Amino acid sequence: MNQTLPHNPLTRFITDDESCWSIEQYQNQGGYQGFRKSLTLSQEQLLDTLKESNLRGRGGAGFPTGLKWSFVPRGDDAPSPRYLIVNADEMEPGTFKDRMLMEKTPHQIIEGLLIGAQTLGASIGYIFLRGDYYLAEKRLTKALQECRDANLLGENILGSGLDFDIHLHTSAGRYICGEETALINSMEGKRANPRAKPPFPQVAGLWGKPTIVNNVETFCNLPHIIHFGPQWFKDLGLNDDAGTKIFGVSGRVNHPGLWELPMGTPIRDIIEQHAGGMRDGYTLKGFLPGGGSTDFLVAEHLDIPMDYDTISKQGSRMGTGTIIILDDRYCPVAMVLNLIKFFAQESCGWCTPCRDGLPWAQVLLEKIEHGEGEPEDINQLEELCRFAAPGNTFCALAPGAVEPLQSALKYFREDFEAHINQACCPFHDKKRQGIDETGTPCIKGSGGDKYEQL
């Protein structure tokens, strides 16, 4: 591959310059060249390029983007207007990659939307932004105005005949809006419940018109695929999955953060090389490979590549590619309880396994964590996981919510049983014995045996 081509397309615009997010800096480094090239291509050529690139959605599901876009009706008799929506809600626990892209390189998102508009004949775009991403909101608002001033948004963009504008929609922030039809309902002013499919949004979405919803990182890939070509993009990946990915690590590692790496980078490299390995005195017990709604993997999985199909074969999902570390000093029951609390709160209440099943899982986990559990509680938790499995619920929220639970019962069952057999949390018990989370003696507080979970 030509060495002059970038190997880090998504982050190459990010520099130490505080104004790296501005249109001037973006264009100085080659920004909007992909869009300008797209104006010379037909819709079919653009769609074929996207399909050939093998770009898969970066929001978690990994569905082929070109195939998804091909379902949108096109041509003179196609319904209009057509809409493009960027899902920038980013409510997945442990995930913060899109926030970086929005704060550091907002024009990359706008350029991706412009290419989408040229490809699908869309006239209106929306960025559905998490309400408490204040800096991202500020910079996206400024970037949109910069584009309008430069005739990159509005009517007859750059004299091409393309009319397209983008609106920033700040949301109230609900996890269910990660499901595209729930997001669309929210934008229409309705309760954020998922819709029955079909019809799919590509045919009848926002206000009944053809709509594409994709993640921030997905749209950010489009300018580079068009500019540098689909073969270049495929060559970036180490395995079958093409391109790069913003991977992240959070937890008790030396250098938590985000890195743009080739798709297929081994998990061990991400954790040990880029995140600096575990902190002194801590040992890896397990990890969620792609955010809070993925199944735990353990140390034996460290050498597998981070790509969609390989992770799936190991019984988990790559999801958002942001790894959450569970170390040997943190209680796995408490970690799963924390996640289940979140998912139970975020359920839209539309279907029974999610509305009633997740709160009941929370009750059972609280019993176990507080030393009041019984052996039958573990059996009930396993049964709840089966009730919330794919195919039994209206959308993917509940199946994703029970993934960390079902895998914790698989890999850390002895910890659940120890809670029940000892009638307490063994990790809390270390504090009762005068040992704090760092392994050094601690002073007992006045609360007796009631200690706060780490």
Q: Which residues does 239 contact at the CB level (< 8 Å), separation at least 6?
A: 263, 264, 305, 307, 310
Q: Where does 332-432 sit in CATH, by number?
A: 1.20.1440.230
Going edge to edge, which strands form the sheet with 257-262?
257-262, 244-250, 322-327, 284-288
Q: Residue 395 and residue 10: Cα distance in Å, rounded? A: 30
CATH number of 244-327: 3.10.20.600
Give the Cα separation of 73 and 49 in Å (integer).
18
Q: Tokens standing for 45?
A: 């050529």
Spatial distance between the Cα atoms of 251 and 261, rounded to a whole number of angstroms: 19
Q: Can you name the residues that pair with 129 across neighbouring β-strands? A: 88, 170
Per-residue model confidence as pLDDT tens digits over 119-157: 999 999 999 999 999 999 999 999 999 999 999 999 999
DSSP-assigned letters across all residues of 380-435: HHHHHHHHTSTTSSSSSHHHHHTHHHHHHHHHSHHHHHHHHHHTS-HHHHHHHTTB
83: which strand partners?
124, 211
Q: Is the peptide bond before 266 cis (omega within 30 degrees of 0)?
A: no
In terms of phi and psi (left: phi > 0; alpha: psi -120 to 50; beta: otherwise), the region of 54 is left
Q: What is the pTM of this model?
A: 0.91
Is there a shared CATH topology between the 244-327 domain and the 332-432 domain? Answer: no
pLDDT at 450: 30
Q: CA-to-CA distance for 287 and 328, rounded, in angstroms? A: 11
pLDDT for res 394: 92
The DSSP bridge partners found for residue 323 are 249
What pLDDT score was predicted for residue 118? 97
What is the phi/psi pair of residue 47, to 5°? -65, -40
| Residue 204 backbone class (left: φ over 0; alpha: ψ -120 to 50; beta: rest) | beta
Residues of the chain with pLDDT under 50: 1-3, 431-454
CATH number 3.40.50.11540 given to 23-236: yes
| pLDDT for res 429 | 57
Q: What are phi and psi of 323, to 5 degrees?
A: -80, 130
Q: How far apart are CA 345 and CA 359, in angstroms?
A: 8
Calculate the dihedral angle through the C-alpha atoms of 204, 95, 167, 39, rounding to the nearest 10 degrees: -80
Query: What ranges do the domains of the chain cover?
Result: 23-236, 244-327, 332-432
219, 113 in Cβ contact below 8 A? yes
Query: Where is 258: in which H helix or E strand?
Result: strand 257-262
Q: Cβ(177)–Cβ(191) under 8 Å? A: no
